[in-house]
Amino acid sequence: MNAKFQKPKYKKQRGIRGLTNTFIGRQGEKLSQRPASNIGLLACLLIVVCGAVLIVHWPALSAEAISFDDDQYLTKNILVQNPGWTSARRFLTEILEPSTVGGYYQPLTMISLMVDFALGGRPDYLRPFHRTSLALHIANTALVIVLLYLLFPTPSVAAAGGLLFGLHPLTVEPICWVSERKTLLAAFFVLWSLILYVHYARKSDWRLYLGSMVMYVLALMSKPTSVPLPVLFLLMDYWPLGRLKLWAVLEKLPLFVIGAVSAAITYISQSRTCIAVLPGEFATARIPLTLCHNIIFYLHKIIFPANLSLHCAFPEPLALSNPIVLRSLVGSCILILFLLVSLRWTAAFLISWLFFFIAISPTMQIISFSNVIAAGKYAYLPSVGLLFLLAYLLTWFYREADIGRPAARAAAMVILVLILASAEAVATRRYLLHWRDSISLQKNMLAVEPDSALLHNNLGILLAGQENFDEAITHFRRALQSNPRDAKAHNNIAMALKSQGRLNQAVGHFAEAVRIEPDFALAHCNLADTFFQQADFDKAVTHYKNALQINPHFPGVHAKLAFALEAQGDFGQAVKFYTEALRAEPDRTDIMNNLAWLIAIHNNADFYDPKRAIDLAEQACELTKYQETSLLDTLAAAYAAVGNFAQAVRTAERAIELTVSLRNEEIASQIKTRLKLYQANQPFFIDN
């Protein structure tokens, strides 16, 4: 007989086996049969728990840290920063190759960030983003409580599980990290799908099944790591729902089809826009050692959430010679042995752990997609599986209160939960302190991984952005000590040295960057800029051309190359690249000015074109409202070139007035010299 039709059993057996027998009967009760007082108590506890979560996480609203990937999701995402139907349509329709975020299809996440931007969120004002994320986390906490109550119908037990979930320090990252909106949103829909599925399992109402399916699709559109959900349903069918039959497997087939389609889309989009390395490309031992490391890592961070960091690099070496890896292997073997032995008493331990493991498996680096081996954010939703075990044990402890000293047992349970929740709250508040700004966050990560070249490099960039170049250079040097062949670190330290005027040292590091990574277009461009600053125009031209050869659409490099060619005296090539630069940046008045000047004054050159010069100079003057001296000077020369000397004189006189008001006597003297030519009906030409 199906478990949901069995009558409750109330055998007074002690221990875990007694809990199993008691629970199998009670889990089949219908919601309508539960006392109204239980529902009322649950509602009160839910409000109290959500209030506690809000209070503990309140500082998240003031967090200003920007971290990994936030440039793609916010600071440099043109669609998020231009809210509207056009942006939403692109998020929804760019399925196999998202154009603004490297990685997988996640339109609902991007649309939610776009809405927050429309509500006032900005890269330098993150409160609207954190407000939505915190609201989602509180909603998820409430859903966890409801789910636990449906499976373990004791209000205090469900509330305890929700409280420990909501206050856990691992929840800080999804709330404060803008790009992790996807984790919260996907969890929201997955929890709804689980709740609807539990209702369906008890009522066999296909409308509930369809609702669960819809929520699954929405979860996949938020973050495709939700793919394993149908497997989680099967685990729950075995325990605690007790309904795993052949038909229960067959009814999941539509969900498996949806999951397979999502997985295919995810792999294609990830491989096209980012990285996706298949298992066959790794050493044989890499995957099992990674799995062992992560199993112990996540359990350790959930039970003892200390030294939390966004970045957890792969252990070096990833081999049994590394004590960390060896301990992980031994710990995993002991854990698996314990789980198998526990089947003698109950399926709760094994199924709860399998729920966690299957839910987190898409992020376990079986298919490599990141340079980190693990991250606390990945445990956000999978931890619900461990809450099943917690609720199971608390239920047993609570049921045992019926025997012996009930008040003492109930008080002990409350005290234990409050102690754990208080410890979590303190740890969460401490972790939140590191999110107050980006530099504090990077320093916290470096405290956990002091030898990380990536983290030293990132902190150096932040410090350089605040013009703290000495400290920035210190961190760039630390990055190079850890990885001397880090081309980006060489480029960054060179930029900092250049900002201090130490050009020769900067040239050395830029040159090393392009030697290590010959296709590093940015380093070629920066090296060319430095040569230009040193008036070594030949070398500047060479490296600008190298940058364009690597990336023909490199922003601004056509103009820089044209400036260098003009300084070199190669005016014909300068005109060519100024023209190219204008196609890419049609509103750059400095480019218009230089191009107009060249084609107006070189009357013997093939590129001489005074009428075009007038058009360019007039367009630039209109953009600057005729308040730019050099543009007026160029326009005057162009007018004179076509014989319109009266207009040339008036324009030159206006340029002189502006120059005098700016007290630039040298420029004023040069324009006055040309003015005399115009007054004598002579153009200003350079004889080639």
pLDDT class of 367 with cuts at 50, 70, 90? confident
CB neighbourhood size of 108 (10 A): 21
pLDDT in tens, 278-287: 887 878 889 9
Furthest-apart CA atoms within the chain: distance in Å: 117
d(CA 626, CA 649): 15
Share of the chain above pLDDT 70, in %: 93
Q: How far apart are CA 263 and CA 266, in angstroms?
A: 5
Q: What is the pLDDT of residues 27-40, one digit of tens each?
A: 333 433 455 568 99
Q: Return all residues near 495 (Cβ < 8 A) that are at least 6 apart.
A: 464, 506, 526
Kindly report the number of other CB atoms within 10 A of residue 28's CB atom: 19
Q: Helices (H), strands (E): how many in the chain?
A: 32, 0
Of 32-41, 76-85, 376-385, 627-636, the one with minimum mean pLDDT is 32-41
Question: What is the model's pLDDT at position 405?
Answer: 64
Pairwise CA distance, residues 385 & 352, whole Å: 5
Per-residue pLDDT tens digits for 256-281: 999 999 999 999 999 998 888 888 78
Number of other residues whose CB lies within 10 A of the CB of residue 392: 27
Q: Comparing C-alpha atoms, which of 154, 236, 162, 157 is closest to residue 193?
A: 236
- 219 vs 380: CA distance, rounded Å: 14
Residue 669 CB partners (closer than 8 Å, separation 6+): none
**End-to-end Cα spacing for the chain:** 101
At 94, which helix (H) or strand (E)?
none
Q: What secondary structure letter does DSSP report for 7? A: P
Residue ranges of domains in the chain: 3-141+151-430, 587-688
Instruction: Give the tens place of pLDDT for each residue, 64-85.
Output: 999 999 999 999 999 999 999 9
> Mean pLDDT across the stretch 563-576?
94
| The pair of three-digit structure tokens given for residue 384, joined into one six-digit string | 């619900």
Does residue 473 register a pLDDT over 70? Answer: yes
Does the domain spanning 587-688 belong to CATH 1.25.40? Answer: yes
pLDDT confidence of residue 281: 80
Tokens of 115: 């809405």
d(CA 143, CA 130): 20
663 pLDDT tier (thresholds 50, 70, 90) = confident
Cβ atoms of 121 and 138 closer than 8 Å: no
120 phi-psi bin (left φ>0, alpha ψ -120 to 50, beta other): left
Average confidence (pLDDT) over 72-99? 95
Query: Could you tell me the CA-to-CA distances from 431 to 57, 95, 305, 449 in Å, in that order?
Result: 10, 36, 10, 16
319 token code pair: 């081999």
Instruction: Tell whether the model's pLDDT for residue 448 goes beyond 80.
Output: yes
Paired tokens of 248: 């229960």
Average pLDDT for 522-534 = 96
b/e map of 590-619 (b: 16 or more CB within 10 Å)? bbbbbbbbbbbbbeeeebbbbeebbebbbe
Which residue in 610, 608, 621, 685 sits closest to 651, CA to CA?
621
What's the CA gap between 315 and 505, in Å, rounded? 34
User: Residue 93's pLDDT is what?
Assistant: 96
Calpha distance 651→368 (Å, rounded)? 64
Q: What is the C-alpha to C-alpha distance for residues 350 and 655, in angstroms, rounded to an integer?
A: 83
Residues 6+ away with beta carbon under 8 Å from 26: 8, 153
Mapped onto helix, strand or coil, the DSSP state of residue 63 is coil
What pLDDT was estimated at residue 668?
A: 86
Residue 542 has pLDDT above 80, yes or no: yes
Q: What does the pLDDT look like over 163-205, one tens digit per residue? A: 999 999 999 999 999 999 999 999 999 999 999 999 999 998 9
Contact 226, 189 (CB under 8 A): yes
Can you tell me the distance from the alpha carbon of 58 to that of 52, in angstroms, rounded to the nearest whole number? 10
pTM confidence score: 0.86
Q: What is the pLDDT of residue 277?
A: 84
pLDDT tens column, 195-237: 999 999 999 899 999 999 999 999 999 999 999 999 999 999 9
What is the Cα 11 distance to its own chain's centre?
52
Strand partners, 372: 313
- Cβ atoms within 10 Å, residue 470: 9
Cβ pair 560, 525 in contact under 8 A? yes
Residue 22 has pLDDT above 50, yes or no: no
pLDDT value of position 25: 35
